[in-house]
Amino acid sequence: MGHLDGKVALITGAGGMKGIGRACALKLASQGADIVLSDFKREPGDLPPQEVKAQWRSIDSVAEEVEALGRRSFKIWCDLTVSGEIEDMARQAAAHYGHIDILVNNARAIIGRDRVPITELREEVWQRFLTINTTAVFLATKFVAKGMIERGKGGRIINMASDASKRGRPLMAAYNASKFAVLGLTQASALDLAPHRITVNAVCPGSVNTDRLNYWEEAQAKAQGISLEEFRARIVAEAGKSIPLGRMAEPEDVANMVAFLASDEAAFITGQAYNVNGGSLFH
């Protein structure tokens, strides 16, 4: 018997081979949950080199892993910049399993094109970050929570924020603003949904060792004449030196916190923002 037997979890941004979404899907499935996997169909040029080499198939591959754990999976392709697709995602997921108990708002915009001074930040880049990182979280919460309220058995909503939700940095105006907003949304929706026994919390990772495409890293690797994998290995090694616990977080570290917040043990926790960063930020 798992802690989440009989529960259904919807996870956005779940298709990355080394992503937090996949780690959350496998963790929750290992504890008994059936999983709804959602992601955006990416162009070949927007895929990390590791996924291309491994012939990774996004949520199709993750679905096979979930089912190998003995749990059911359901896949929904969704463009989080389109509100109608988000509403349809929530409707399809609830219709397929009959209910949604856990929502993990994990997807984020691809970073890199935002890494410029505020005076050079293009409005369309700014808007894309707010649309995917903030507005999509609001809409998924709105549509999924409606179903949770109608069912009357409570629920768990977990928003993937960031240490960038708590600390501004140079060249990160769009990302910082979008992630700071996630914390305000988390707190306000936690209060709105508390009467219905739906908890809403945020997880705030620091640097995480994923292979998600980063346009800035791609450009830096090209400028230095090295592979993206080699450039990332350098970043991981350097990041570990500045983190008190001596290493960059792995996706599984974040998934462990998500699993706790999804469990009955976290039933009296709401409106909170938990750091998962090895001691690099304390508030």
Choice among 179, 222, 241, 274 that is catalytic: 179
CA distance 105 to 139: 10
DSSP string, 24-80: HHHHHHHTT-EEEEEE----GGGS-HHHHHHT--THHHHHHHHHHTT--EEEEE--T
CA distance 132 to 130: 6
Buried b (16+ CB within 10 A) or exposed e, 241-260: eebeeeebbebebbbebbbb
CA distance 199 to 259: 13
Active-site residue, 142 included: no
Active-site residue, 153 included: no
- Of 276, 283, 227, residue with least CA distance to 249: 276
Choice among 142, 175, 222, 274 that is catalytic: 175
Cα–chain-centroid distance for residue 220?
A: 25
Q: Which amino acid is at 174?
A: A
Question: Catalytic residues, which ones?
Answer: 175, 179
